[in-house]
Structure formats: C-alpha cells, structure tokens
Structure 1
C-alpha cells in the first residue's frame, strides 16, 4: 500500500534516536552501517551474514539508554560518558580512569571525593551491569521487531571482546559472531573517522587489534581503507543504507504500525523512571479525546500515533535533567525545549513517519504562542496537534515528577481549564481530554510469565528506581523478602537488570504512568 513504511525505514529512524542517546552526531549509526556493510563485503561474509550485518548494525546500540538512570546517578550526564567512552579501549585502567574523571564531576570537591569512594566500592559493578541491561533491552527490541535468531545472538554479544575480557565475558575470539565483530569495528571507526579522518580511524584500529577487535578483520579494514571510508561524510547515509537493505526487509502494514510505534514510545520513556508508560498513556488519552471530538478515522490514527512518539527526542536530553529534583537551569530548560525538534528530525526521513512527526512536534506548542519549539499560534496548530497538546498536558499533571506529586483528579481538571482560560490550550480539545479522562476506568494488572500479584507489585516499584529498602517499606515486608521476590521476577522474566525489567513491564502492560503512589527515586 502506498505510504506504508518499510521495516528498514523504521529501524533506521530508531537509529537516529540512538545517536542522541549515545551523545554522538546525527547519523552516526547510519554511517557506521555503511562502514559495516562495506567491511562485511570486503571480508567475504556470505549473503546471509551481510543481510544480518544491516540489522545488527542499526540495532546494536539501541539499548544504550537502558542504564541511563544508573549512569546519571554516578556521572551526571549519561550521554557525555557514553560519547567519551569511544576514546579509550573499554577495559582495565583506561576505562577506570575515564569513569573516575566523570564520577560526580559537577559536585562540590568534598562531595565528589565521597562519591568516588562509593563508586569504587559498588559503582563500577553498576557500570558493568549497564552493559548487560543494554544487551537485554536490545534483545527485547529485536524480538518485538521480529528479527531472526542469528541477529539476536549477535546483538547479545555487543560488549564481548576478541581478547575475552568483555561483558558478560562468555565469548571471545571467533566465538563472537562475525557480524558483531564487523559492527564493533565499524562503530568505533566511524567516530574516529568523523573527528580525524580515515588516518585517525586507522591508528585507533591498529592500537586495539587483537584486544578489542578481531585482528584479521582489522587487517581487512586497513587493506581496503580507501573503499570502506571513502566519501563517508559527503554521501546521504540514509539513502545508502535504505537502498542497500537486504531481502529480509518488508513493508509494515498500517494496521501494525501502532505496535511498532509502541517500541518507540517505550524506548523514549525508558530514559527516566519518572516517565515510564507516559507516552502510551498520552496516546491512549489523545485517542479517546479524538473520539469525543468525532474526529475522522485518519485524524484519530494520526493523533494516537503522534502520542506514542511525541517524546522520542527525549533521548537527546541527559537523564540527570529528567531526574533533577530542583529547578532547571536556563541551559537545561533550553535542552528540554529541543525535544520536539529532535522528535521531528528523527522521523523526518520517511514520509508516513514524517507526517506523524509533524503532529508530534507540536505537542508542546500553545495556542497563545508561548509554546515551543516554534511558538506557533492557534491558527497554525491543526486539530490533532491541539488534542495531543491537551492530552500531554493532562497526563503530565497526573504523574509524579521529581519536583512535585501527581495532582488529584479535581486539581488536574482545574489546572487544565486554567490553561484554557489563559488561552494556552484549545477549549474543545481540553474538554474532550477531560471527558475522556473522566470516563477512564481502572485496569487490573495483567500477570504474565508466571508472576504472582506480589511479584508484579515488586516489579513495578523496582523499575521505578526504588531501592530494596524503599520497596520493603512501601510493601511492609523485609528487604530480604524483597530480594527474594526480585530474584523470582528476574528468573521468570528472563532479565537481570532494572532497565531490561522496565522494558518487559512496559511491553506486557505491567506498569502505568502515574499508576502507583509509591515513593519515586530522588
């Protein structure tokens, strides 16, 4: 059907959000994929492996934000530590030195010394666990996208090393899938090629061959350097990647597009425990409000899908900002105001997604021109965007934030109507949202994976970022009991980190935005 996006286009769009999460320039992952495909061909990988290279490269780092909450606790800006990690061979003293230079970097001297001490006793283990969370989250996304078993195995080895010193450390040398060995080289090489050209990439590859990277593949890359790196920053990486997509690609029918965009929603909300489930909730509320306003089926689909992706650009904002308990600085506020702009850019390359992105990018515009990023006024804001703006504003009031509790229903209504009276929100859209919210009914938690009701409660509190002692106090049980429940949850769900557990909970409807009054992480 005309206008249906292809699977490759959806995954390539998601890679643009990954660039933001990595703290790297836009289209890093696309350029990395160009390098990977060229290297796979030069290395003589068979047709199936070259097809797998395409998907493994685009998805390899999609799990990068799974440990953003944990990284921000130690390093402040999770995006900066990720970007800077490319400059070192990520093991041993070089990696430890890098982390120590970032621990508590923005804290006063005495507090920073204390934070470094705490990091040395437990934080390094948290950082290593982050690699596991990354792989498990990537695996969840790959599974939901319908990737084949070969791709999923390769993705699970993203942080393994040729010398066997990687994470989780269960594979080394040729035990690592050839596709992943190719992608690992392409990832770092693109960063160095972008900043210093092919010569800088060559120096880096020589310094890490036999340790981080497969020496034979490094030799192949160096031997074919001109062809592999040529014109990398002059070409349209998006077009090169999409045109070269393998036979496994397929159209995504509009009937299944919502399901795919739910992945985008969960991905964005994983950035901070405070927003888990937010995008799905906004989408559902906006959809119900569109029904209240008797919108056409096309507009209803548009606002529903825009609700799912309206915070996709949040991956470009440090989690320390989303989690900050105090007032944001002017610079931090400006970064937050860029979220809808980032969202539009991420979705702009594919026509169907671009149409959705244009509405999503207006989620924070206001009828009186005081919104962002463009300061549009009512006449320039279409009805679907007005509904989305009202739904996003209402849902935000319904959820707890680091600076305030969630508002009770009567106060939410009053706050939304105050925005209408001030001319910020469209009156008809706001009334439709209030009507939709007023008719909402509770939903019983749907248990999966053999979880008990108590385990589901523990899971929801865990993914919100609460420590075992906090969970114990909330549920009036002992910390040891909580630890046992968490062990059972991890065993039954097949994950072992908070970030991966959050993706599981979102996927199976086990956590709702604003769905618990439990204490949130500070």
Structure 2
C-alpha cells in the first residue's frame, strides 16, 4: 500500500483532502468525491483507456467541482443557500420542465415572497443567459485552479466542461458528444451515480443513469456502468474510502517537500478565498504575517514553517458554510453563528486526514480560540493555547480587520493595530502575539507591490483591485467617480493586458502581483 513518508504528505493526499473540502461546499458527506473518483477510474479501465487517460479521469472526477468557490457568491445571489441548492441539484436532470421546476422552487429560497418573485423574474427574463454567465465563470475558474495545482492539461480541459451535456444542451458552450473530453463524460456519471447509489442503492443509480442516457450522459459510458454496476459501486466508505482513493491515484508516491508543499497549500488557500470576493488574498496575507512574526518572536524555522503552512489553509472549513451567511450585511442570528463556529472544526477535520499534517490541523482548529475562553469552536483558554495558536489568531484578526466585509469597510492599518491592542487588553488576544504582528506588518508591507506590472496604468490597477474584490461595474464607477462605460473599457483593457478572461483570472493575478495588501 502506498502513502506518504513520515512527516511529508503526498500530492495525492493533499488533493484528496481538497476534495473533502469540496464535498462540504456541495452539501455532500466527506468521501463523496473520493468514491466518485474510484468509480470513474474503474469505468475508465472497463472502457479500455490508457494509463494516462485513467489518471486524468481520476483527477478530473476528484476535483471536477473545484470551480464551485468562484461562483458561490452568484449562487447565493440567485438561490440563497449555495450549498443547499448544489446538494438538491444532484436529484434533477438539468434539462426541460423538471429543471424549470427546480429553478422555480429554489430561486431565492428562504427569502421573503416579494424578494423571491423579483429574483425569479430577473432569472427567467434570460434564464439560459444568466446561468450561462454564472457557469462560464465556474468553468474558466476550474481550469485556472487546476493549473495552479499542477494538474495536467487534460484535467484542466475536462473540468472546464463540468456543465456540458452529451446532447449539446449544456452550458456554457453547448458542447456535445465527443467534443466533451471523455474524462469528463465519465466523471459526470460517476459523480451523480455515487449520490444516487448512496441514497437509493445500486438499482436507483442504474435507473438514474439510464434515464439520462443520451441526454446528460454518454450512452457508451452509461452502458459500461449498467453492465456491472454492482461491482463498480462496491466501494468502501469512511477511512477505507480514503485509502482506496489514494491507492487509485496516478501519482500516489509523489511526496511534497518544502517549497512544493508550500505552493500547493497556498493554491488551496487561494481556492478557499475565492468563495467570498471580499476575502481575496486573505489566506496568503495571514500566512505572510504569521510566518514573519514567528521568526521575529524567536520560534524555530521549522515551527515558523508549520505555522505558515497552517495559515495558508486555516479557512478551508469556510467552504462548509453558505455564502448566505458570509455575505450578510447585518447581525448573524443564533443559527448562523452555530454554523460559523463550526468552520475551524471542519477545517481541522479536513487536514487531519493527511498524514504528516497533524500540527497544521491542530492550528487550523484553534485559529479562532481566545485566551479568555470566549473563542470557538472549543472555548479553549489560557495555557491550553500554544504560542503558535495565539500568533495565528492575532494574524487572522489583523488581516481580517484590514479587509472589507459586507457589514463594514476595511480598517486602515493604524486602526486595525489599535483594535488588536484593545482586544489584547480585554484578554481576547495574546499581548505578545499582537506585538509581534504589529512589528511584522511593516516587514510584510515592505514586500508589497512597488511597480505596476503588465503595463497597467494606475487607474487600471485601481480597477483591477476592485474587480478582484468582487465589486460590480456600478460599484466601481461610484467608488472612482467615473461612468460605468469607462469602467467597462478599463476592465476590457486590463484583462487584455494581463491575459485573463474573467474575474477569477484577474483575482489570481492580483494576488500574485501584490495588489492586495
């Protein structure tokens, strides 16, 4: 049996952990995508695919919904609870009257009747166009993120087609038949069949596949599945599913060391931050602050590295909380807070699956704990919190204060530092950690962008930053006191100069080039 060497996770293990985080955002139980990837690999073997194609099929399935963070804000705008609507969508064929009923039932779900009616009218005025724009962002983002994780071109091409249909009635490109990569045609069936098997058994999975044969799914793939579905779906659950999935990975022995591990964790952090545009660059910013402060406090390079790595992925549990909550512009109610308080625990659970990441998982679980015991999720206090725990909490608090939120504007650095001092005086943050973060802010700031890349003008750089933060053209126009037409022109010129085609591409460019403090 293959796996990581002591103290160093494999690439397959890190990507498997990411798939569990994606499960959170899909409203599915952990191991859903792991089990789907095993099924897809088996189907690829039945279809006689080459070893390279089988490997690409495995990762195309495991991470086929990696673009889900990029469209979570839009899903929440149209449907309310982005996680709930994704979970429900597995039970309906995205075509014809059943899909129309699905849209009517779920648009603005949980909101006042007048709001639902207005949102539904807006959606139905151009349902295909509205969904097409939403899914285009998802698909382009999925391909970009797959590339940042070092996945091969075949996987990048496949995940960009997650919403296409064999009959050509999918979105955003209306591809049909063999124009959809075979890896994705297999992945689509495996993903949906795993859900129906889990909910209704093998016969339910076969019935679902055959009902969508020639529509959503490739008939050849459906027939290969139906011919021996019982054996293909004989996949373990729980920790055994993890082991089986790792053993199915094409690169299961590729260990991640040093910089390669850092780059993978940073890319995962970027993926998480895209869920809420106002969080863009948050994870990298926290990692820079925490890592610099740790060394300044005299922590060993090894401990500082562990802290930095935990900081890259400290918010991975946010994927399990709906954007309907994260984007509220007013106070959260008790039910909202119950979900919010769970996200450090969820993040710790995701990372705890990865051998060699126990220390990072513990830090992730504790990043919202407080010395006075008023933090979450465990309410830990005093000496139960390590020096690294306290430092990560202070770094998160500072970085969060300097970022905008739906209910407040971003604080200037001096205001954020003063806020941390007040919290330290009240026992909510550790005073030594706050002092170290304050000292690190200057060092990190000195490494910020000093020149405008790609020939961008100062105005284009301003527009790029606001686009990356999820602002609409109207909001950008109001912020910069220019017309929406001028904003559109700036956006078009900026995208052309930096070589991207959507907000996510612009966002990743902004992160890489230091546009976000």
TM-score normalised over the length of structure 1:
0.93
Match of 1:456 in 2: 461
Match status 1:204 vs 2:208: yes
Query: SS state of the match for residue 352, structure 1?
Result: coil
Q: Is the 8 A contact 1:274 1:323 kept in 2?
A: no
CA separation in 2, counterparts of 1:123 and 1:287?
47
Match of 1:520 in 2: none
Distance 2:255 2:61 in 1: 20
CA offset digits 1:110-149 (Å, max 9, x no partner)? 2321222122235653332222222222211221222222
Instruction: Please identify, of 71-80 and 438-447, the stretch whose mean Cα deviation from structure 2 is larger.
Output: 438-447
What displacement does 1:42 show?
1.7
Gap regions ≥5 residues in structure 2: none
Once the 2 structures are TM-superposed, how far is the Cα of residue 445 of structure 1 from its aligned partner?
Answer: 5.8
Given candidates 344, 358, 366, the residue that maps to 2:348 is 344
Task: State the shift of 1:37 in Å.
Answer: 1.2
Shift of 1:18: 0.7
Change (3 A) 1:4 1:43: same
Q: Name whichever of 432-441 and 464-473 sits farther off.
A: 432-441
Q: Aligned runs of 1:48-447 on 2, under 5 Å?
A: 48-122=52-126, 125-169=129-173, 171-233=175-237, 236-247=240-251, 250-441=254-445, 443-444=448-449, 447=452
Kept in 2, the 8 Å contact 1:270–1:503? The answer is no
Aligned: 1:475 with 2:501: no
Seen in structure 2, the aligned counterparts of structure 1 residues 249 and 164 have a Cα distance that, compared at 3 Å, is farther
Change (3 A) 1:323 1:124: farther
Q: Compute the TM-score of the two structures, normalised by the length of structure 2.
A: 0.94
- Which whole-Å CA distance do the structure 2 matches of 1:159 and 1:477 have between them? 37
Paired residue for 1:518? Answer: none
Q: Quote how far apart the aligned CAs of 1:30 are.
A: 0.4
Measure how far apart 1:91 and its partner are: 2.7
After superposition, the C-alpha distances for 1:170-214 in whole angstroms (9 at most, x for unaligned) are: 531122222111111000001111111111111110110000001
Aligned partner of residue 226 in structure 2, secondary structure: helix
How many pairs are equivalent? 512
Distance 2:147 2:373 in 1: 42
Shift in Å, 1:272: 0.7
SS in 1 for 2:261: helix
SS of the residue corresponding to residue 391 of structure 1 reads: helix
1:367 offset after TM fit, Å?
Answer: 1.1
Q: What residue in structure 1 maps to residue 508 of structure 2?
A: 503
Residues in 2 aligned to 1:426 and 1:52: alpha-carbon distance in whole angstroms:
47
Asked if the contact 2:370/2:380 (under 8 Å) is kept, the reply is: yes
1:280 and 1:308 in contact (8 A); partners too: yes
Can you list the C-alpha shifts for 1:244-282, whole angstroms capped at 9, x where unaligned? 221585221223221111111111111111211111111
The more displaced of 438-447 and 17-26 is 438-447
Change over 3 Å in CA distance of 1:190–1:449 after alignment to 2: farther
Q: Is the 8 A contact 1:30 1:238 kept in 2?
A: yes
Q: Give the Cα–Cα distance (whole angstroms) in 2 for the partners of residues 150 and 241 of structure 1.
A: 20
**For structure 1, which runs of at least 5 residues remain unmatched after alignment?**
516-522
Partner residue in 2 for 1:44? 48
Name whichever of 149-158 and 237-246 sits farther off: 149-158
